[in-house]
């Protein structure tokens, strides 16, 4: 079974631009979550989607948004990029819909904002 | 406010010995706990999990213990191997939530 895939793996953008990251979950998984990892803050939860609906949201500004498609694939968008948005963005998928779901992570997208 | 704490930034053990990684949490609403292993510039790899209805779960060389009254969990790796060298993250989630709250990680080094 293929794992979680994320594209692109690396991105370089400049301040003020916007970026879209993509995540394909494990087949059969309906929940997709996004996390930001930085050296200072560690791994922080951005939001979670289940059956195309955002179920949970972390403490990030409105510049961070996402969506999920009917095939469970998800995209994350960051608008008006800031230097502090440079981070490893990780996507995780799980079955969802039941208690105690193991989440499996993709390799991440390394975003650098210049 | 850090709800999941891994107080040891690093741990060094000899090959073949036991590695014990510790994690404390403050939120009594957490009911599911997971351990991940991570290499730099890669996504975390799921290792083992435990729900709040258990106090122990084993999978091969990995065992996780949960002490709910102390709000403490630990990961035991026996025997430790050089390939286990990585950063280990403890994570927790609440009832019915997929949101994972992570600790800051413990860097494990297993020396040959």
Q: What is the pLDDT of residue A71?
A: 94
Using the Cβ of B30 and the Cβ atoms of chain A, whether some distance falls under 8 Å is answered with no
Window 42-61 of B: residues touching A by CB (8 A cutoff) are 42-46, 49, 51
CA distances for A72 relative to A109, B97, B99, angstroms: 18, 18, 17
User: Which among A30, A66, A103, A106 is the top mutation candidate for probing chain B, defined by the most B β-carbons within 10 Å of its own β-carbon?
Assistant: A103
- For residue range B55-84, list pLDDT tens digits in order: 999 999 999 999 999 999 999 999 999 999
In this predicted structure, the answer to whether residue A100 has a pLDDT above a threshold of 90 is: no
Q: Report the alpha-carbon distance of residue B26 to residue A26 in Å, rounded.
A: 32
Cα–Cα nearest to B84, from B110, B111, B106:
B110
Residue-wise pLDDT for A54-96, tens only, equals: 999 999 999 999 999 999 999 999 999 999 999 999 999 999 8
B25 touches B4 (CB < 8 A): yes
């Amino acid at each position: 079974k293929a794992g979680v895939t994320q594209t692109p793996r690396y991105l370089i953008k400049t301040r003020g631009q916007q970026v879209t990251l993509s995540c394909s979950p494990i087949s059969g998984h309906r929940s997709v979550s996004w996390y930001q990892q930085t050296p200072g803050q560690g791994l922080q939860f951005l939001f979670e989607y289940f059956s195309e609906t955002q179920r949970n949201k972390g403490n990030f500004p409105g510049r961070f948004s996402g969506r999920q498609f009917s095939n469970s694939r998800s995209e994350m968008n960051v608008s008006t990029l800031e230097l502090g948005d440079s981070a490893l963005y990780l996507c995780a998928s799980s079955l969802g819909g039941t208690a105690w779901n193991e989440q499996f992570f993709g390799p991440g997208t390394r975003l650098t904002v210049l | 406010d850090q709800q999941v704490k891994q107080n040891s930034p690093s741990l060094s053990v000899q090959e073949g010995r036991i590695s014990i990684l510790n994690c404390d949490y403050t939120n009594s609403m957490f009911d599911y706990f997971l351990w991940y292993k991570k290499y730099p510039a890669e996504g975390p790899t799921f290792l083992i999990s435990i729900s709040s209805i258990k106090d122990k779960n084993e999978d091969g060389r990995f065992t996780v213990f949960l002490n709910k009254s102390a709000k403490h969990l630990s990961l035991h790796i026996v025997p430790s191997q050089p390939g286990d060298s990585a950063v280990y993250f403890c994570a927790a989630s609440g009832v019915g939530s997929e949101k994972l709250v992570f600790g800051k990680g413990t860097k494990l080094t297993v020396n040959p």
